[in-house]
């Protein structure tokens, strides 16, 4: 028996707009799912159309969730859609998980263009495909015009702990003497968003570095199963991430500015915008903490992967009763690298 047509008219994905009724849970919601979300994410779990998905999985699950409210929605190098996939895939990977599945919750603003929504959803689907994860469940709500900012996306990622890991990487495991590595040049996503958002007529060859890092992480874990800590330095930048690790492990850190990878145009844009790249978000980079004797192996493993070609050892964990993160400047002086203060860069992720 063929299903009778549930919807009298197809959604106008080119010129149509989100309406409040799309979030009400009725036919309009069903249509939005049928004609926009499902074709993009299609997989057996999702296509079944239930509220939850039953997944095969071992006992050692790794779960992470992330909200995405970035403004602007589309920026050089990516958009809120692929950012939402990469962000959560990366969180799962930083916990030592091999990401398998994602859920996606959308909060849409009434009046938001359906063609933009399709663009975002297609980008998400592509990012998920490339990352080898499936979007198995989701939800959509619509808020009145003016109460949202186009679209907000929350993704939850589920993975299974990497089989080579005896102990999952965690911030508290860092020890004095350990080495700190970064997978590549810093500040790219943050400065791109800032430059895109400000009304400064600044143009620079900068783009978001948003990327799924679990492949890079897999290579790292295979090379160094005892890896102490993995962290992706998103909001708050490298500085905040390292401060968090030190606080968690009761240590301090000493970084070397001369070893910090950063691209010239990013550095220049930061000078013009008056921001410190250490505090800008990275969406396709990771920090790895390893025992000193493992640092060279970890570095080599990262450099073998396309997302880690410019990896570098940038410092070491030290013993410090104050838990300060310090940095040696190129001329041999010292400065502190404090936590990010306040939130001078709203909605960059």
The CB-of-157 to another protein minimum distance in angstroms stands at 31
The CB-of-79 to another protein minimum distance in angstroms stands at 23
333 binds another protein (CB under 8 A): yes
- CB closer to another protein out of 146 and 201: 201
End-to-end CA distance of the chain: 47
For tokens 């001329």, the residue is: 331
For tokens 């190129």, the residue is: 330
- CB closer to another protein out of 58 and 321: 321
The CB-of-332 to another protein minimum distance in angstroms stands at 6
3-class secondary structure per residue, 228-253: CEEECCCCCHHHHHHHHHHHHHCCEE
- CB closer to another protein out of 132 and 344: 344
Which stretch, 16-24, 54-62, 100-108, 329-337, contacts another protein (CB under 8 A)?
A: 329-337
- CB closer to another protein out of 144 and 198: 198
The CB-of-23 to another protein minimum distance in angstroms stands at 27
**Rounded alpha-carbon distances, angstroms, from residue 349 to 35, 128, 301, 302, 329:** 28, 18, 28, 25, 29
- CB closer to another protein out of 44 and 201: 201
Residues in binding contact with another protein, number by CB under 8 A: 36
CB 105 within 8 Å of CB 153: yes
The CB-of-280 to another protein minimum distance in angstroms stands at 14
| The only residue of 19, 338, 347, 349 in contact with another protein, by rule CB under 8 A | 338
CB 41 within 8 Å of CB 106: no
Site for another protein in 190-229 (CB under 8 A): 198-206
The CB-of-289 to another protein minimum distance in angstroms stands at 21
Residue 277, Cβ density class (10 Å: 0-12 exposed, 13-18 middle, ≥19 buried) = buried
21 binds another protein (CB under 8 A): no
129 binds another protein (CB under 8 A): no
126 binds another protein (CB under 8 A): no
Q: How far apart are CA 178 and CA 140, in angstroms?
A: 45
Site for another protein in 268-287 (CB under 8 A): 268-269, 271-274
The CB-of-242 to another protein minimum distance in angstroms stands at 14
Q: Tokens representing 50? A: 């239930």
How many C-beta atoms lie closer than 10 Å to residue 25's C-beta? 12
Contacts 24+ apart (CB under 8 A), 20-27: 20/110, 20/142, 20/143, 20/144, 21/142, 22/108, 22/140, 22/142, 23/108, 23/140, 23/141, 23/142, 23/143, 24/142
The CB-of-346 to another protein minimum distance in angstroms stands at 11
CB 114 within 8 Å of CB 11: yes
| Site pattern 233..272 for another protein (x: CB under 8 A) | -------------------------x-----xx-xxx-xx
Q: Calculate Rg over the CA atoms of the chain.
A: 21
- CB closer to another protein out of 121 and 317: 317
- CB closer to another protein out of 304 and 335: 335
149 binds another protein (CB under 8 A): no
- Interacting residues with another protein (CB under 8 A): 198-206, 258, 264-265, 267-269, 271-274, 321-322, 324, 326, 328-336, 338, 341-342, 344
């Amino acid at each position: 028996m063929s299903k009778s047509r549930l919807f009298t008219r197809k959604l106008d994905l080119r010129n149509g707009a989100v309406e409040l009724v799309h979030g009400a849970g009725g036919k309009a919601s069903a249509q939005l799912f049928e004609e926009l979300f499902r074709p993009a994410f299609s997989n057996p779990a999702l296509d079944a159309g239930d509220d939850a998905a039953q997944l095969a999985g071992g006992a050692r699950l790794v779960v992470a969730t992330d909200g995405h409210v970035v403004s602007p929605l589309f920026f050089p190098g990516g958009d809120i859609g692929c950012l939402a996939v990469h962000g959560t895939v990366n969180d799962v990977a930083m916990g030592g998980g091999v990401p398998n599945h994602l859920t996606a919750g959308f909060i849409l603003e009434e009046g938001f263009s359906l063609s933009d929504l399709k663009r975002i959803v297609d980008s998400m689907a592509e990012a998920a495909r490339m990352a080898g994860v499936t979007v198995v469940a989701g939800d959509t709500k619509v808020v009145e015009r003016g109460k949202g900012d186009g679209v907000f996306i929350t993704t939850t990622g589920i993975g299974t702990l990497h089989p080579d890991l005896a102990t999952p990487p965690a911030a508290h495991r860092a020890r004095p003497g350990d080495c700190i590595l970064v997978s590549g040049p810093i500040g790219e996503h943050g400065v791109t968003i800032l430059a895109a958002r400000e009304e400064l007529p600044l143009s620079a060859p900068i783009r978001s570095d948003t990327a799924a890092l679990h492949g890079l992480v897999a290579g790292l874990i295979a090379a160094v199963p005892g890896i102490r800590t993995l962290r992706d330095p998103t909001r708050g930048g490298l500085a905040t991430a390292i401060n968090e690790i030190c606080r968690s492990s009761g240590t301090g850190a000493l970084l070397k500015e001369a070893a910090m990878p950063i691209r010239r145009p990013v550095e220049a844009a930061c000078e013009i915008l008056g921001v410190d790249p250490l505090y800008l978000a990275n969406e396709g980079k990771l920090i790895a903490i390893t025992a000193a004797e493992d640092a060279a192996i970890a570095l080599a493993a990262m450099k073998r992967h396309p997302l880690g070609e410019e990896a570098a050892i940038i410092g070491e964990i030290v013993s410090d009763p104050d838990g300060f993160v310090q940095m040696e400047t190129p001329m041999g002086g010292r400065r502190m690298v404090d936590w990010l203060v306040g939130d001078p860069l709203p909605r960059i992720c």
